[in-house]
Amino acid sequence: MEKKHIITIAGRPGSGKSSTAKAVASQLGFQHFSSGDLFRAIGRDLGIDVLQANLNAEQNAEIDHLVDGRLRDIGANEDNKVIDSRTAWHWIPNSFKVFLDLDLEVAAKRILNTMDDDRLKSENLHRDPVEYAEVLKRRLESENRRYRNLYDIDPYDLSNYDLVIDTAKYDLMQVIEQVVNSYTIWAKS
């Protein structure tokens, strides 16, 4: 299978998927796509927050099929992309697959520090990091159930990835550098 000039970045919430993906795309001159942004936008159109959208998706796979269809389309028809998504590695197996790991309590603090009041309100959240870590845990459990039921995959199985980085150990610039350097080596091999 021919390698695509596509980097798929998965990871835990707050691990820096979006920030890393945007910066890597910019550095490489690639386009950026976020399946999380698409999922949240669909949820907003339905008048529900991201946790409720995840829980609803366990019973109704329509949102997942819309997002996953877009990912499959990118994999089949596009190149020079950096995608932050929990499942893009599965839909685009010939991509360079990255996983960004992070403890959920650290993640909750990071996310809450970057959220504006509009997003807090739209996702029905409070600023307590312990409470939000519990929300993140329920969200991950919901996603994992969905992905197992729909596709028999586990996005948190680190053997799925070409590169795994614990983002608690590195700042954003170091993570970006690791992704770009590892991708460059991978693309040439």
Picking from 129, 75, 67, 78, the residue whose alpha carbon sits closest to that of residue 104 is: 129
Count how many domains the chain has. 1
Task: Print the domain residue range for 79.
Answer: 6-172
What was the pLDDT predicted at 184? 97
Does 186 reside within a domain? Answer: no
Q: Which has more confidence, 121 or 97?
A: 97
Residue with the larger pLDDT of the pair 109 and 115: 109
Q: Is residue 178 part of a domain?
A: no
| Residue 182 domain-assigned (yes or no) | no
* 104 is a domain residue: yes
Q: Does the residue 77 lie in any domain?
A: yes
- Tracing tokens 């950096």 back to the chain, one arrives at 82
Q: What percent of the chain has pLDDT over 90?
A: 57
- Rounded to an integer, the average pLDDT of 172-182 is 98
Judge whether 63 lies within some domain. Answer: yes
pLDDT in tens, 34-81: 988 877 777 777 776 666 766 666 666 777 788 888 899 999 999 999
Rounded to the nearest 10 degrees, the angle between the axes of helix 62-77 and helix 35-45 is 150
The pLDDT assigned to 36 comes to 80
- Ramachandran assignment for 80, one of left (phi > 0), alpha (psi -120 to 50 degrees), beta (any other): left
Q: Classify residue 83: in a domain, yes or no.
A: yes
- DSSP string for residues in the chain: -PPPSEEEEEE-TTSSHHHHHHHHHHHHT-EEEEHHHHHHHHHHHTT--HHHHHHHHHH-THHHHHHHHHHHHHHHH--SEEEE-SSHHHH-TTSEEEEEE--HHHHHHHHHHH--HHHHHHTT--S-HHHHHHHHHHHHHHHHHHHHHHHS--TT-GGG-SEEEETTSS-HHHHHHHHHHHHHHHHH-
Instruction: Assess if residue 177 is contained within a domain.
Output: no
CATH code where residue 12 lies: 3.40.50.300
- For the entire predicted model, the pTM comes to 0.84
Using the predicted structure, report yes or no on whether residue 142 has a pLDDT greater than 90.
Answer: no
pLDDT, residue 56, reads 67
